Amino acid sequence: MMHGHEDHCDVLVVGGGAAGLVAARVAADALGSRGVVVLVERMTRPGAKLLLSGGGKCNVTHDASPDRLLEKGFGRTRERRFLRTACYAYTADDLRAFLAGYGVQTVVRADGKVFPASAMADDVLDALMSGVRHAGARVVTGTRVLELFDTGEGYLAGCGAVCFRTRKVILATGGISYGHTGSTGDGLDMARSLGHSIVSPGAALAPVFLKPLPGRSLAGKVLRGVVLHVTCGGKTVKAFGDILFTHKGVSGPAVLSLSRDVAELYGQGKDADVSIDLFPRLEHAGLEARLLDYTVAHGARQLSRFLGEESPLPAALVPFVCRRVELDGALRLAELQRSDRRRLVACLKRFLVGKVVSVPLAAGEVSSGGIPLQEIDPGTMASRISPGLYCCGELLDYAGEIGGFNLQAAFSTGWLAGTSAAASCQQDA
């Protein structure tokens, strides 16, 4: 039962993250003096999660055409199809032009990641907030929407001491990762209460915890340009990139990229083995030939020197490999038997580092799951279940790669939701 002061607006945006800030701005821009847009944020300041992006430097987007951005950033066909209209409606270039208009210049790194030239996430958030204010949207912080009802003529959002009666609602509450930033799944509960089904949230862009633990000697060590393999129940998923050993397992770009698939595999209740191909550009025969050539040229050198110079192994990992293949690192290469070389090659091509213990949802940069994409119109972000409801951002069941893809999807879907909600208000008038 709702109590307290009743406030009225035309569009209520719930959530002040990347998607919500864009949605509020463009809705207010479109409506102008003909409508009222209110953004409600449960935290004392909008954009808490945005400030953590890119280690506080804010990897705002990826420098690519919409099609290329979708191809690089979203591995699942249904996600690319769903996001295509939004990413064409509001592109990476559009975002960069908006930021430049508020004095935030951006730079493109060699890998395509786009950052503010200042390397400060605060600058991006300040620009987004300035855009919202200049458009005329009202921002209400420190206020949590506790319940949301469809009245048949609009929606009633209860926030404790105040409730908002609104014609349209845009849910932009985010997923369920980094809960301390306000992303605790409130929007999923609201969507469910209005008739939406929910795909159970899962970890994405998360570290993977292992058993046995890597140990202190490995924590902080990095393997570069390797391939991570995770095998579970006869199925293997893999990703190329760098891997970071942590006190609890592995992280780094290759791990983050694969974590969603790993979480889904591990969730089937079977053991999941984690291994690394240390020489992904060579087949077994090619690596054995390389080892033999090196031996012919440098037969007096020790095995540990070969591993240190010719592989991506950090020094701390060399003894692990030697123990795994039951060879002394001080052994001269010329003393290796053919069976020794084959055993070593097999280990280097599939170095087992442990079994998955968990893929922690709370540690993921984003979460998968949420509102099923088939329940949202990709051309407007309108709910196909509850008329007048729009949903955008991480609340939806997609999850992209690291590199600015998820933020661009949030900005793009937020833009489309805000534009569509305002257009619907104008059509109803």
For 274-321, how does the pLDDT look when each residue is reduced to its tens digit (9 = 90+)? 999 999 999 999 999 999 999 999 999 999 999 988 888 888 889 989
What's residue 92's pLDDT?
Answer: 98
pLDDT of residue 74: 96
Domain with CATH 3.50.50.60 in the chain: 5-203+365-428
Cα 131–chain centre separation: 25
- Report which secondary-structure segment, H or E, holds 284: helix 284-297
For residue 181, the model assigns a pLDDT of 64
Between the two ends of the chain, the Cα-to-Cα distance in Å is: 30
- Mean pLDDT, range 410-420, rounded to an integer: 99
Q: How far apart are CA 144 and CA 296, in angstroms?
A: 70
> What was the pLDDT predicted at 178?
65
pLDDT digits (tens, 9 = 90+) for 235-258: 999 999 999 999 999 999 999 999
**What is the CB-side half-sphere exposure of residue 389 using CA atoms within 13 A?**
28
Residues in a beta bridge with 156? 149, 165
pLDDT of residue 182: 56
User: For the structural domain made of 5-203+365-428, what CATH number should be given?
Assistant: 3.50.50.60
Rounded to the nearest 5 percent, the helix, strand and coil shares of the chain are 40, 25, 35
Looking at residue 267, the DSSP 8-state letter turns out to be: T
Q: How does DSSP classify residue 53? A: G
Measured CA to CA, the distance from residue 189 to residue 184 in angstroms comes to: 10
* pTM of the complete model: 0.91
Q: Which of 111, 119, 112, 70 is nearest to 91 (CA)?
A: 70
Contacting residues for 250 by C-beta, under 8 A, at least 6 apart: 207, 208, 210, 214, 228, 243, 244, 274, 353
Token pair for residue 369? 């799951």
The gap from C-alpha 300 to its chain's centroid, in whole angstroms, comes to 48
Answer yes or no: are the C-beta atoms of 170 and 392 closer than 8 Å: yes
- The average confidence (pLDDT) of the chain is 93
Q: What is the dihedral of CA 190, 196, 201, 204, to 10 degrees?
A: -100
Cα–Cα distance measured from residue 12 to residue 429, given in angstroms and rounded to the nearest whole number: 17
* pLDDT digit string, tens, across residues 345-403: 999 999 999 999 999 988 888 999 999 999 999 999 999 999 999 999 999 999 999 99
User: Is 345 in contact with 280 (CB distance < 8 Å)?
Assistant: no
